[in-house]
Structures are given as structure tokens and as C-alpha cells.
Structure 1
Amino acid sequence: MSRRFSLTATGVFAGSLAALGAFAPTAAAVGPFDLAPLPLHSLFQEQEPDRLTVTVVDTNITRADGTYELRCGPSGGTHPEAASACARLDELAAEDKNPFAPVPDGQMCTMQMGGPATARVTGTWHGRSVDATFSRKNGCEISRWQNLVPVLPAARG
């Protein structure tokens, strides 16, 4: 009896596979809206590492001004605090924040001057192109700069 059950189950299983095969699309039948299988390696493919160029001027801090390369995933480059800078970018990503977004138009900002420091960050972050400028010309810009320390140096006024 056990033998008959296994033969019957195997027969049913084989028949089910054959029936499914009749409905499976062939490569020629896949249209633009059909789901095509992804290659297995693409499911596990890691994102390109982040690569940023950070240029800072007029910080009034010895050895803070200059142009640095920052690589994350793993951290490296010529940035003086690469590991800490990458960790900060990871924190902001975990909070689902774009640290390179400009101050929104119409944003009310305090009229204070945080010093002459300016910075420009270019490159790629999380697969997106970055080209952002930073200053310390008002409260919003100071806050935006401070949010990115240590990617940007803690400038003094």
C-alpha cells in the first residue's frame, strides 16, 4: 500500500509539473510588462561604494581647508576622518534623510553669520549623483553644515 501511494503521489507531482510547464512563458513570449526572472547574482549584488570629493575653504581651522576624497563601503580616501564621516552618512541614511538636500525655498532662517567657510561636495552617495554647496551665511545653512560634521569640518565663525 505504501508503494502504491508513493507511485500515485509521484505521478500526480509529475503531472502537475507538466501542466505548469504548459503555461510557463518562453523567452519569446515575455512582453514588456511581464516579470522576467532576474539573474541570481543581481539579487545579491552590492551597491557601488560611495565616493565623494569634499572641498572646504575659509574654515579658520588649521589643516581643515582643502580637497579630500571620501570613500565609504569600506571607508577610505584622503579625508582626515573617513571612518567617522562614513558613519555619519550611514546614520543619516538610516534616518532616511538626504544630507545634501538644499535648504527649502521660503524657509525662515535666523539672520546670523557663522563665518566665511564654504564647501562643495560632489560624487555619488547611495547610487545618486551629488553636487551640493554649503555655507554658514544664516541659521539654516549653519544647521545644515553642522548636520554633516565630520564629513565637513566643525568650522568656527
Structure 2
Amino acid sequence: MSALGALSAVPAVAAPVLPPPVRPEDRAGDHLTVVVRHAGPGRDGTYELFCHPAGGSHPDAAEACRTLEEHTQWGRDLFAPVAPGTTCTMLNGGPATARVTGTWAGRGVDAAYDRSNGCEIGRWDRMVPLLPTLGSGGVRPGHVGPAVGTSARRTGGPLGRPARPADPPVGTSPHRPDGPRTRPAPTGAGHTQPTRGLPPTKSPVP
């Protein structure tokens, strides 16, 4: 058999078929569903968020994706709950709750949020604007603020300092509340203290 015949006897190998290029719409981007309750009008609702590229029904999708990217660290759960045994301030940030589910950075997400203490308030605020802005302040349990239109400073009463005394009338001295200020007549050589009802007299000169 000639060399040409030997080569022709080798079976042909089909060329590998390459997969088609991945289109942007075929990529499984990060997708989160956010459900907010008891946060108030304009905040409550269910929102869909897509990242890479940003989109969905979330009112601030681009900024929400950017914030999540900034806080993401590989090997760390971005949506982890407050660690057990953490000391938290006793602040009540209101009745708002939220639940975030879906996929982020290739990992499943199922996280619940509330504002029941200082740790939970901080955890919520770190997720803004994925979660709505509600402010970082809170109310301590059992604390009652001043009535509307009054000052928080104590001005008197059994638990405060004594009330400030009223100012004296115009023309009177605060140290002499019995009448207007008076100046004593000058005394010395050539003068005598006047007697009530009689004109003053000069002492005779020796």
C-alpha cells in the first residue's frame, strides 16, 4: 500500500462545534426580590432588582446595585443576620420590616430585616437604597417626649429645678423689692443728715 493510500485509510475526524457566543440577555445576572411592609406610603411594596445590568421595578436600581457591589466581600455573607450574643442598644426604629430573596454573587439570598434595636437599625441602613430610607433615629422603650409645642427643658416642678423668679418691676432694684431705688443724702463737713419734715441746716463754721 502506498503512503497516499495509507493516509486515505485513516478515518476523518469531525471538527469540534463551538457554542454560540453568550448574549447579554442570556446571562444569569443577580436578581433580588424585596418585600417591604409597615414602612409607610410610597415605601411599602414588592420590588424586583436586576444587576449586571441594573434594571427591574426597583425605584433606584442602579444605585442599589452599586451599593451592594461596594459592600460585597468574597467569603462574607452580605445579608447575614446580627450575630447571636451581640450587645445592641435598646432603640425602637419603628414597625417596618423587609425580606430580601433571590441570588447575589452566585449565592442564594433569604434575609429578613426589621428595626427592633440599634443593631437591626444599622443593618437596615447599610442596605439603603435597596431598602427604603427611614432614618437612623429611634425611641427608647418607655421614653415619653415633651408635648407638642413645649420645650424639652425642665423649667420647674417636682422633678426639675425651682422656677426662675419673676423679674422686678421697671425702676426698682432686684435687691430692694420694697420701692424705687434711693440714694442717701451726702454727709460730711458742713452738712447734717436732714430731719424728716424739716429743711436741712448748715452747721456753724467756727
**TM bin (shorter chain):** 0.5 to 0.7
**8 Å contact from structure 1 (residues 70, 77) kept in 2:** yes
Two-structure CA RMSD over aligned residues (Å): 2.2
Q: 1:136 aligns with which of 90, 109, 115?
A: 115
**8 Å contact from structure 1 (residues 99, 147) kept in 2:** no
Q: Once the 2 structures are TM-superposed, how far is the Cα of residue 155 of structure 1 from its aligned partner?
A: 1.8
**8 Å contact from structure 1 (residues 56, 65) kept in 2:** yes
Q: 1:98 aligns with which of 57, 61, 77?
A: 77
Partner of 1:80: 59
Matched, 1:53 2:45: no
Q: 2:90 aligns with which of 111, 121, 136?
A: 111
Q: Distance in 1 between matches of 2:76 and 2:121?
A: 17
Q: What SS is found at the alignment partner of 1:105?
A: coil
Q: Once the 2 structures are TM-superposed, how far is the Cα of residue 96 of structure 1 from its aligned partner?
A: 6.7
Q: Which amino acid aligns with 2:66?
A: A
Q: What SS is found at the alignment partner of 1:77?
A: coil
**Which TM-score applies when normalising by structure 2?**
0.51
How many matched pairs?
114
Q: Which amino acid aligns with 1:120?
A: R
Q: What SS is found at the alignment partner of 2:70?
A: helix
Sequence identity, in percent?
Answer: 54
Q: Distance in 2 between matches of 1:141 and 1:96?
A: 22
Q: Which amino acid aligns with 1:67?
A: T
Q: After superposition, give the CA deviation of every residue in 1:104-134 in whole Å (9 maximum; x if it has no partner).
A: 0000000000010000000000010000000
* Greater mean deviation of Cα atoms: 86-95 or 67-76: 86-95
Structure with higher RCO (Cα < 8 A, 6+ apart): 1
Q: Which amino acid aligns with 2:117?
A: N
Q: Distance in 1 between matches of 2:103 and 2:96?
A: 23
Matched, 1:126 2:117: no
Larger proportion of helix: 1
Matched, 1:148 2:119: no
Q: Once the 2 structures are TM-superposed, how far is the Cα of residue 98 of structure 1 from its aligned partner?
A: 3.0
Any gaps of 5 or more consecutive residues in structure 2?
1-17, 139-206
Q: What SS is found at the alignment partner of 2:72?
A: helix
Q: Once the 2 structures are TM-superposed, how far is the Cα of residue 76 of structure 1 from its aligned partner?
A: 0.3
Any gaps of 5 or more consecutive residues in structure 1?
1-39
Partner of 2:48: 69
